């Protein structure tokens, strides 16, 4: 039986590459910067241009499909997920990196049917790394199959995270306190490259052992989530909510020791509600 969504996936890969060309071109020009929820929550004309480019071409080819885009939601559009085939798009994951020309910027596309992720694409366009995954068929980077590290001892692990754009003093205190707790376990270290999607893909490659973050949104993880699971990892929401709104990623089907789980739960004292509504 033919895969009903393979054509969509092939089209998504092609669009991600074209979007990457737009982003790489924009990096050579002057970048116009605006803000959203805070002075450090940045958006550029290129974010909006890339999202419009992707959505307009998909609508032309698949007019019955639905869309959830980061910049569309920021502009006031809804983010209600139904059973309809839905494209969840982050046009530039790592906008602050893009503004500063820090070389980790990704196009993220997730495709969901009946509220289940069918495939995910993350194109780290400066690196020219195309991460892909199709449900039940594995995860790949530039054609090479990916596998998570298999590390189950948290004291031998390297974690990735992000500090986020919330500059509320209490939130900052919680984030830094969580990092202190993790480092005191101890663990080998904590890294951040400035893009949730690439962080997650680094877990899929086995280069990092786990990724966690407070306040992650659906477009941050829709593309990379299935890349994690198809590489042998799992998505966890340590607050015991629906894992589709996961705020932590762990690299193993065995989430690890009870101590590790307890530390993870302790670290997730507060998170922003997801902007997506599962109906």
- Catalytic positions, written as ranges: 70, 90, 92-93, 95, 220
Rg (CA), the chain: 18
In the block, tokens 């086995």 appear at 206
133 bridge partner residues: 120, 139
**CA nearest 269: which of 166, 168, 173, 174?**
174
Q: Which two tokens stand for residue 88?
A: 């969840």
Residue 14: other Cβ atoms inside 10 A: 12
What's the rounded Cα separation, in Å, for the pair 25 and 22?
Answer: 5
- Cβ atoms of residues 148 and 231 within 8 Å: yes
């Amino acid at each position: 039986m033919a895969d009903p969504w393979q054509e969509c996936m092939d089209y998504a890969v092609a669009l991600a590459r074209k979007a990457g060309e737009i982003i790489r071109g924009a990096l050579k020009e002057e970048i116009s910067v605006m803000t959203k929820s805070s002075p450090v929550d940045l958006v550029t004309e290129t974010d909006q241009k890339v999202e419009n480019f992707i959505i307009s071409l998909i609508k032309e080819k698949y007019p019955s499909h639905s869309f959830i885009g980061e910049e569309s939601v920021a502009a006031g559009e809804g983010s209600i997920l139904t059973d309809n085939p839905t494209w969840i798009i982050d046009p530039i994951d790592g906008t602050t990196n893009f503004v500063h020309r820090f070389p980790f910027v990704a196009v993220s596309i997730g495709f969901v049917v009946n509220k289940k992720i069918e495939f995910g694409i993350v194109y780290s366009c400066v690196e020219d790394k195309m991460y892909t995954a199709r449900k039940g068929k594995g995860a790949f980077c530039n054609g090479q199959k990916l596998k998570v590290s298999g590390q189950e001892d948290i004291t031998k692990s390297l974690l990735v995270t992000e500090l986020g754009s919330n500059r509320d003093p209490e939130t900052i205190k919680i984030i830094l306190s969580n990092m202190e707790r993790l480092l005191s376990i101890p663990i080998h270290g904590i890294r951040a490259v400035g893009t949730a999607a690439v962080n997650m893909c680094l877990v899929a490659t086995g280069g990092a052992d786990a990724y966690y973050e407070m306040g992650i949104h659906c477009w941050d993880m829709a593309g990379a989530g299935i890349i994690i699971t198809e590489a042998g990892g799992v998505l966890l929401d340590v607050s015991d909510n629906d894992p589709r709104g996961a705020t932590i990623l762990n690299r193993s089907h065995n989430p690890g020791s009870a101590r590790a789980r307890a530390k993870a739960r302790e670290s997730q004292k507060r998170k922003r509600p997801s902007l997506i509504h599962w109906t």
